[in-house]
Chains A and B, each alone.
Chain A
Amino acid sequence: MATTTIDPVNVRGGLRRRLSRVLYQHPRLRLALLLGGPIVWLLVAYVGSLVALLVTSLYHYQTDPTGLVPRLVTSPSTTNYQRVLDAGVYRTVAFRTIGAALSVTVIDLLIALPVAFYMAKIARPWARRALVVAVTMPLWAGYLVKGYAWRAMLDPAGGVLHEVFGHSPGFGLSGTVVTLSYLWLPYMIIPIYAGLERLPNSLLEASTDLGAKAGRTFARIVLPQLRPSIVAGSIFTFALTLGDFYMAQIVGGTTQFIGNIVYREFSANLPFAAAYATLPIVVMIVYLALARSSGALEEL
């Protein structure tokens, strides 16, 4: 008499089961299915556009005395880069933009450290939740709304700062730096807050226990531990400021940043716009390389 037994090796099962088994047996295929889509997206959207940018930056326009518009020359040349280097204005604007990005980063850091410390280490749980909401709340408001709100703050003729403090930086570079510092502050507070939450209280207690007062504990224990968070936050504030151009239009008076020139040149001389747009990318690569060499990225 034959008995029916289930042979676990030769169970056929449905198509899904067989497919799952194939996947189980081929880890690389699994990985390909998992990451295939995102990688194609990254290649096309990011690498592709970056290559397009670099290629375009090597084209240039040649004046055509007979035609309606200049002639586009596609044989590679460094004409545009030469212009970036030669015309003083592009250097001036680049240094101004980088300076603004550094200032915004430092201002945000100085504000974020005590606020995040209070949130993570001192505030009671309900106050902490309220503060997290309060800190991130400005992110919910529109960018332009905030820009115009800051016009009302900075206005040299009857703005809030002028009325309350009797002085306002007015519309200009410093007004733009103040506004951008406000805009990007949450991007600095949140990583530092997260970093402080991860920092065990016992490390702070151990430091005081070993005789250190608050200042030394902050400088020797908290800051080194927070470095990855600070670097992460500064990448946000620095990169966002480096790429911003609209706030310069709203509260900048006559100030222009790299982005303003790229936007303007985009319609008149696309290859030049592309060449100038590589500048913030290079700056950012240098910034990330410095962060990396300081070891901060390894701990992320």
Chain B
Amino acid sequence: MKHANRLAVLAVALVLVAAACGSSSKSTTGGGSTSTKPTGQQTLGAGEGSVSILAWPGYAENGSNDPKIDWVKPFTAATGCKATVKYFGTSDEAFNLFKTGQYDVVSSSGDATLRMVADQDAAVINTSLLTNWNDLDPLLKVKPWNSVDGVVYGVPHGWGANLLMYNKNVVKPAPDSWGSVFDANSPYKGKITGYDSPIYIADGALYLMKTKPDLGIKDPYALDDTQFQAVVDLMKVQRPLIGEYWSDYLKEQDAFIKGSLVLGTTWQITTNGVQADKTAPPVAAIIPKEGSTAWSDSWMIDAKAKHPNCAYMWINWITKPDIQAQVAEYFGEAPANLKACTLTVDKNHCATYHAGDAAFYGQLSYWKTPTAKCLDGRTNVTCKDYAAWTAAWDTIKG
């Protein structure tokens, strides 16, 4: 027993050390800066029998949440690739998990894609191996958040806005502005929520872009020192209003159902979940008059994927019109494959979510990784990069 105790003490100390240690860092270089254009995998071989998928909740449903919602098992039946699915809650989590090299394929939002490319985690995609490439919305293909210098790293999946959800019983009158979550005198103090990620700073930036034109914000992801300071100050005003931040959408769903949260940013899937619960108070989710931050997601393949063929097969499967229709309706987003629009149960789905609507698409501010080189094209100033956003988020949460 004496020794057992001493070993236990040692083990505790070591576990702590181990827990604090991540994998060692890779050297980072700018992705895609080689002179000849890389082309990625040349041919699509036989499936490797399994594939490991890292996905946003709702993107790779296998019936475990709702037996009727399942497009993973049919994929396995069709391709022989046994799929294991891991969900993540934030882009940072996706980045950290994908970095481990345990996942073949990931659904990555615009605020993580370039980091994955820069970290050399993402493979170049050979679009000639993609069966649905030509049907995907041109608004989403070969864009700055899923390609570098014309080299494709991500295959569009779908897009949507971050919405403002509110409890219709409590929040009266109905809000129409993001100002409702930044109002220091809000009567809903302590029952407001925000997204627990540095990228949520962009929501404050978007609000100031529309309400404080003097700051000259053109792009919520391209903030110089002065602009950034103004946004951080706003987020600090918001902090005491927040009951809890969320990164796990189920936590937010639960809190809205119970009523401990009544107002704040959300995803359509969360709203759907609240509305499907019979005990929940009535809620609505809107795009406020300032517009919204939004996401545009792409599938990426690990540069050292163990099951690259199955990964391609998964991308081909998940971009098929019928599957796209299922995912888009379940998650509540605009599909990337516009052929899905004729296959949705709700025939107005694509219209509701403005799929293919270039004018609407342009109004939203899609998640991007902030970089020092200003994303809005300014060259006379340096912008705050994602590390600075993260440091600021540490301070905002306090």
Q: What is the CB-to-nearest-CB distance from B219 to chain A, in angstroms, rounded to a whole number?
A: 16
How many angstroms between the C-alpha atoms of A66 and B5 in the bound complex?
55
Instruction: Report if A151-B251 is in contact (Cβ < 8 Å); known contacts: A69-B28, A232-B8, A281-B20.
Output: yes
Instruction: Report if A269-B387 is in contact (Cβ < 8 Å); known contacts: A243-B19, A300-B2.
Output: yes
Q: Which residues of the other chain, B, contact A87 by a CB distance below 8 angstroms?
A: 391, 394-395
> Contact: A284 with B5, CB < 8 Å?
no
**Would you call A297 an interface residue if the criterion is a C-beta within 8 Å of the partner chain's C-beta atoms?**
yes
Mostly, the B contact residues are: helix
> Contact: B372 with A63, CB < 8 Å?
yes
How many angstroms between the C-alpha atoms of A159 and B255 in the bound complex?
11
**Would you call A236 an interface residue if the criterion is a C-beta within 8 Å of the partner chain's C-beta atoms?**
yes
Q: Which residues of the other chain, B, contact A273 by a CB distance below 8 angstroms?
A: 22
Digit string of A272-300 for contact with B (CB within 8 Å is 1, else 0)? 11100110110011001000000001001
Cβ-neighbour of A264 out of B27, B260, B390 (below 8 A):
B390
How many angstroms between the C-alpha atoms of A170 and B255 in the bound complex?
12
**Would you call B24 an interface residue if the criterion is a C-beta within 8 Å of the partner chain's C-beta atoms?**
yes
Interface residues of A in 147-196 (CB under 8 A from B): 148, 151, 155-159, 170-171, 191, 194
> Contact: A61 with B27, CB < 8 Å?
no
> Contact: A46 with B387, CB < 8 Å?
no
**Would you call B231 an interface residue if the criterion is a C-beta within 8 Å of the partner chain's C-beta atoms?**
no
Nearest residue (CB) in A for B381 is A65
**Would you call B343 an interface residue if the criterion is a C-beta within 8 Å of the partner chain's C-beta atoms?**
no
**Would you call B150 an interface residue if the criterion is a C-beta within 8 Å of the partner chain's C-beta atoms?**
no
Q: What is the CB-to-nearest-CB distance from B341 to chain A, in angstroms, rounded to a whole number?
A: 34
> Contact: A243 with B16, CB < 8 Å?
yes
Cβ-neighbour of A45 out of B18, B93, B394, B395 (below 8 A):
B18
Cβ-neighbour of A52 out of B21, B245, B260 (below 8 A):
B21
**Would you call A201 an interface residue if the criterion is a C-beta within 8 Å of the partner chain's C-beta atoms?**
no
> Contact: B22 with A264, CB < 8 Å?
no
Stretch of A18-26, A218-226, A249-257 with 4 or more beta carbons under 8 angstroms from chain B:
A249-257
> Contact: B373 with A67, CB < 8 Å?
yes
Q: What is the CB-to-nearest-CB distance from A168 to chain B, in angstroms, rounded to a whole number?
A: 10
Q: What is the CB-to-nearest-CB distance from A84 to chain B, in angstroms, rounded to a whole number?
A: 11
Q: What is the CB-to-nearest-CB distance from A35 to chain B, in angstroms, rounded to a whole number?
A: 13
Interface residues of B in 365-389 (CB under 8 A from A): 369, 371-373, 382, 385-387, 389
Instruction: Report if A281-B243 is in contact (Cβ < 8 Å); known contacts: A232-B5, A249-B248, A267-B115.
Output: no
Beyond the given pairs A66-B373, A284-B16, A300-B2, 20 more chain A to chain B contacts, judged by CB atoms under 8 angstroms and listed by A's residue number, are: A52-B21, A67-B30, A67-B373, A68-B30, A69-B114, A70-B385, A87-B395, A92-B398, A155-B260, A249-B247, A250-B248, A261-B394, A264-B92, A267-B96, A268-B92, A268-B198, A268-B389, A272-B391, A284-B13, A300-B9
Across the A-B interface, the 8 shortest Cβ-Cβ residue pairs: A268-B390, A277-B20, A49-B21, A157-B259, A300-B5, A157-B260, A253-B244, A267-B92
Pairs across A and B, CB under 8 Å, 21 listed: A49-B17, A56-B24, A64-B372, A68-B114, A69-B369, A72-B25, A90-B394, A171-B244, A232-B9, A239-B12, A243-B20, A253-B244, A254-B239, A254-B244, A266-B96, A267-B96, A267-B115, A274-B21, A281-B16, A297-B9, A300-B2
Residues of A within 8 A of B (CB): 42, 45-46, 49-50, 52-53, 56, 59, 61, 63-72, 83, 87, 89-90, 92-93, 148, 151, 155-159, 170-171, 191, 194, 198, 228, 232, 235-236, 239, 242-243, 249-250, 252-254, 256, 260-274, 277-278, 280-281, 284-285, 288, 297, 300
